[in-house]
């Protein structure tokens, strides 16, 4: 337990808090979780770079679209890197498993809404994808409260890859229209269809109520409960 001391500083009420504090810090503050937290901090930077237009501001002669695409590419790379390091270093934590999908959803949501604001993506497609993310998040929270994990499906992974390709393609295609725009458009269609199908698949497999489990009393209790009755009947 932790309480505030007379000087306003926190005091630990445990007899020897140092080993416990080191153990908590070692399981929450690690390299994979730090990378995930860095991805969250890149989200507002991405929005500012894509949507802010300042006259005469063109650092190093690079357009804001290229800078935004670079930020999104780095953030998407950290999505793979933090999971790889967590498994390799055996630093998979509860807060990391909660924070990683949250960072992914924040990143994708910010990028897609920015594309709609720039008129680079249809609003209805983005609404379908974000609606799917919200519904699956609600389902995952319900299952987590019941102690059931919701692993990522194959369709969900296809959707994630298609989203990354679509966002990068549409951003880069805005600089110079061509095959990048076509690739981004096709990938956005794939992401939209995969979002719908994967959401239906998740709810089909995990939203059905579990069948009640019939509990059979132990043989010893059943025997002791039935013995007096049997004796009365035989008497």
226 vs 221: CA distance, rounded Å:
9
Q: Report the mean per-residue pLDDT for the chain.
A: 77
Q: Please give the pLDDT value at position 52.
A: 83
> Per residue in 213-235, pLDDT tens?
454 555 544 444 455 444 444 44
pLDDT at 203: 81
> Residue 3: what are its φ and ψ, rounded to 5°?
-135, 160
Specify the fold of 12-208: 1.20.120
Q: What pLDDT, in 10s, does the model give residues 151-208?
A: 677 888 899 899 999 999 999 998 877 889 999 999 999 999 999 998 888 888 776 5
Residue 141 has pLDDT above 50, yes or no: yes
Query: How much of the chain, in percent, has pLDDT values that exceed 90?
Result: 31
Tokens of residue 37, six digits: 């937290």
Least confidently predicted of 69-73, 84-88, 114-118: 84-88
Domain residue spans in the chain?
12-208
Q: What is the pLDDT of residue 57?
A: 62
Residue 100 in contact with residue 82, Cβ under 8 Å?
A: yes
More confident residue, 65 or 1: 65
Which bin fits 14, alpha (ψ -120 to 50), beta or left (φ > 0)? beta
Q: Are 203 and 210 in contact (CB under 8 A)?
A: no
Residue 57 sits at the vertex; the CA angle it makes with 54 and 58, to the nearest 5 degrees, is: 130
């Amino acid at each position: 337990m932790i309480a505030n001391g007379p000087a306003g500083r926190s005091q630990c009420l445990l007899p020897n808090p140092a080993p416990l504090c080191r153990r908590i810090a070692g399981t929450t503050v690690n390299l994979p979780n730090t990378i995930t937290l860095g991805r969250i901090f890149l989200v507002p930077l991405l929005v500012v770079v894509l949507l802010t237009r300042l006259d005469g501001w063109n650092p190093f002669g690079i357009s804001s679209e290229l800078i935004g695409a670079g930020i999104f590419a780095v953030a998407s790379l950290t999505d793979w890197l933090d999971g790889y390091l967590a498994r390799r270093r055996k630093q998979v934590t509860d807060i990391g498993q909660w924070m990683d999908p949250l960072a992914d959803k924040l990143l994708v949501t910010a990028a897609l809404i920015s594309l709609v604001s720039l008129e680079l993506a249809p609003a209805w497609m983005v609404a379908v994808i974000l609606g799917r993310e919200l519904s699956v998040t609600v389902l995952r929270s319900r299952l987590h409260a019941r102690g059931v994990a919701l692993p990522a499906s194959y369709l969900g992974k296809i959707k994630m890859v298609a989203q990354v390709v679509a966002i990068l393609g549409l951003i880069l295609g805005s600089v110079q229209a061509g095959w990048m725009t076509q690739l981004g458009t096709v990938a956005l269609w794939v992401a939209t269809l995969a979002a719908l199908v994967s959401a239906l698949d998740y709810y089909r497999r995990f939203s059905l109520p579990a069948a009640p489990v019939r509990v059979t009393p132990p043989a010893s209790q059943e025997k002791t409960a039935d013995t007096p009755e049997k004796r009365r009947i035989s008497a």
